[in-house]
Amino acid sequence: MKVKIWYIFFLVLISTGFIYFFFNGNPAGKAESKRIVASYLEEKYSQQSFTITGISYYPGEGTYIINVASKDGEIEGKIDVKNGKIITDSLNN
């Protein structure tokens, strides 16, 4: 009886983890996307200083959406990262 309860608990735990990762993305993928965007901003906008204001995940395409804003407030927007590459840069000057 105890084995059956542990088996059910294990299945529920695995199912919950799968659902969480499906809708929120992989934490390692989020960290990698954040690093990619930070180096991209340093390269392209070397004169500006940026902060990352949020990271979200779009499960339909497997895309991380990184919200960024310059510290002086002049530039803000979103940068989309998929498979370790920037696919969209929609920063408004």
Place of tokens 């979200």: 56
Element (H, E) at 84: none
What is the extent of the structural domain holding 43?
Answer: 26-92
Instruction: Identify whether 67 is part of a domain.
Output: yes
Instruction: Identify whether 17 is part of a domain.
Output: no
Whole-number Å distance between alpha carbons of 62 and 60: 6
Digit-coded pLDDT (tens) for 12-31: 999 999 999 999 999 999 99
What is the number of structural domains in the chain?
1
Instruction: Identify whether 60 is part of a domain.
Output: yes
Instruction: Identify whether 2 is part of a domain.
Output: no
Which amino acid makes up residue 31? A
Its pTM stands at 0.82
Q: Angle at the Cα of 69 (from 67 to 48), degrees rounded to 5?
A: 130
Instruction: Identify whether 82 is part of a domain.
Output: yes
Digit-coded pLDDT (tens) for 67-93: 999 988 888 999 999 999 999 999 876
DSSP state, residue 73: S
Instruction: Identify whether 72 is part of a domain.
Output: yes
CATH number of the structural domain spanning residue 61 = 3.10.450
Q: Angle at the Cα of 89 (from 54 to 55), degrees rounded to 5?
A: 15
Instruction: Identify whether 73 is part of a domain.
Output: yes
